[in-house]
Amino acid sequence: MSKSKKVWVADDDESIRFVLEKGLVDAGFEVSVFEDGNEVVNQLDIDKPNVLLTDLKMPGRDGMDLLDTFKNEFSNIPVIMMTAHSDLDTTVDAFENGAWDYIAKPFDLNDAISKITKALEERKLRSKKRNKEDEITLDKGKIIGKSPAMQDLFNSIGKLSHSDSTVLLVGESGTGKELVARAIYEHSERSEKKLISLNMADIPIELLESELFGYEKGAFTGAEKKKIGRFEQADKATLFLDEIGDMPYETQTRILRVLSSGEFYRIGGSEPITVDVRIIAATNQNLNEKVKIGAFREDLFHRLNVIRIPMPALRDRKEDIPLLANYFFEKFSKETKSETKILTDEVIDLFSNLIWPGNVLQLQNLCHSLAVLSSAQEINISDLPNDLLIQKKGPELSWNDLLEVWATERLSNGDDHILNSTIPVFEKTMIKVAMKATKGKKSEAANLLGWGRNTLARKMNELDL
């Protein structure tokens, strides 16, 4: 018998208890009966029901007393009141004090069973909602911060809870755009449906449209059966499009059509498919600049840029670094069942003065490494990897300073258009360093650079690498 169908019946009338117990057992419920409220409260130390059906008037602790107890201590358990005094005041008092429903005596057994069944279904929904709230709390816990920038971010997420507007998350790689997208989804009115996600940079260009829009059987060689794309999967739900800046121009046109009309065609299809999709998009690229150079459609940009949420870089929220580090150490400690590492004040000061090009993700990876490799509980400067110490010592001039000196010299020599000549050199150097660091693995190099794989391939072609 299902453990989620436990019904407790409290009534001082033995005949009522007998009728309800027999009828509910025959209907498939697990039933326990009690003469008064005191017996119910005593049993609560041992077990809990899924639904309580209680008489209003009983000697000693009556139904209203039980209702108060359940409301204060077990609010997730529905309470159904039974009463022979079904006047308006009694009914209103019961509902105002948290009763799920009431049954007037004499009652119809089938009606009682129907109400108990509905109460059990309601409890399941409450349980799912509570679990979802726990998950949201957990996920919100991952979005940690007390800095003004993070408080602004939390406020934005809260304000979007009753909105269906398109959201564009913009920020550097590693700032937590996917976490924020999930938090927006979980707090939205579409949270009952699954969040559908697609990272544009992870999908080869030739497969991207079939992933987004699906295809019909026989649409091309190898299309042996119909495929449902992400837009269709996200009907009445939310679609998270990550790395939107890596989207090919042709695909941009098709997505614009969906956002404009709510319709699209599967590849090889002849019938339009209508969808109702809420879009959350994210990018680490400057879409304004891509629009200027013709690499991103301006009309699509405006369709996506309805609610724009900037993601703060870690270097702009330094007061959050100790909180984040402690969270990561506690997380890894639970996973490995080991003691939680502690940072010395000197290490915290160092962390607060680093650039963190990989942002929160870089800090998380560092804390993970320290949690695994450091034998001592307290993390000192000597435990840190050399690349961080090099950043600490640093040259007398930062690369920003050196670039400024170089640009000043070029201009004094009468050069112009120096930005056009500088950017390719800068990108070429960064690509070479990333490819060397990853031993030629393009996907990993793209990740180091904060680009998608398609972007890296295009850049290497443009720069003859």
Instruction: Supply the pLDDT for residue 429.
Output: 83
For 102-157, the DSSP string reads EEESS--HHHHHHHHHHHHHHHHHHHHHHHHHHHHHHHHHHS---SHHHHHHHHHH
127 — pLDDT class (breaks 50, 70, 90): low
Lowest mean pLDDT among 82-91, 220-229, 449-458: 82-91
Pick from 424, 356, 350: which is nearest to 380 by CA? Answer: 350
Is the domain of 126 the same as that of 239? no
Q: Where are the beta strands (DSSP E) in 202-276?
A: 237-242, 263-264, 273-274
Number of structural domains found in the chain: 4
Pick from 287, 279, 228, 222: which is nearest to 256 by CA? Answer: 279
**Who wins on pLDDT, 171 or 128?**
171
Instruction: Supply the pLDDT for residue 129.
Output: 44
141 — pLDDT class (breaks 50, 70, 90): very low
Is the domain of 191 the same as that of 307? yes
Is the domain of 39 the same as that of 160? no
Q: Above 80 in pLDDT, residue 1? A: no
| 191 domain-assigned | yes
pLDDT in tens, 22-52: 999 999 999 999 999 999 999 988 889 999 9
Give the SS3 label for residue 280: strand
394 — pLDDT class (breaks 50, 70, 90): very low
Domain boundary among 258, 291, 312: 312
Whether 63 contacts 55, CB under 8 Å: yes
Q: Above 80 in pLDDT, residue 115? A: yes
Instruction: Supply the pLDDT for residue 418.
Output: 76
Which domain covers residue 363, as residue numbers?
Answer: 315-393
Is the domain of 305 the same as that of 257? yes
Is the domain of 16 the same as that of 161? no
397 — pLDDT class (breaks 50, 70, 90): very low
Whether 308 contacts 170, CB under 8 Å: yes
Is the domain of 200 the same as that of 276? yes
Structure tokens given for 31 = 């039933």
Q: How far apart are the C-alpha atoms of 394 and 390, rounded to whole Å?
A: 6
CA angle 325, 331, 137 (to 5 degrees): 95
| 1 domain-assigned | no
Is the domain of 348 the same as that of 374? yes
pTM over 0.75: no
- Average pLDDT, integer, range 403-423: 67
Is the domain of 296 the same as that of 178? yes
**What percentage of the chain reaches a pLDDT higher than 90?**
43
Is the domain of 348 the same as that of 239? no
Domain boundary among 343, 371, 393: 393
pLDDT in tens, 226-273: 999 999 999 999 999 999 999 999 999 999 999 999 999 999 999 999
- Average pLDDT, integer, range 391-410: 57
Whether 119 contacts 98, CB under 8 Å: no
Q: What is the CATH number of the domain that holds 22?
A: 3.40.50.2300
**Who wins on pLDDT, 382 or 390?**
382
Q: How far apart are the C-alpha atoms of 273 and 406, rounded to whole Å?
A: 56
Q: What is the CATH number of the domain that holds 335?
A: 1.10.8.60
Mark residue 279 as left, alpha or beta (left: phi above 0; alpha: psi -120 to 50; beta: remaining). Answer: beta
Q: What is the CATH number of the domain that holds 289?
A: 3.40.50.300
Is the domain of 280 the same as that of 323? no
Whether 414 contacts 423, CB under 8 Å: no
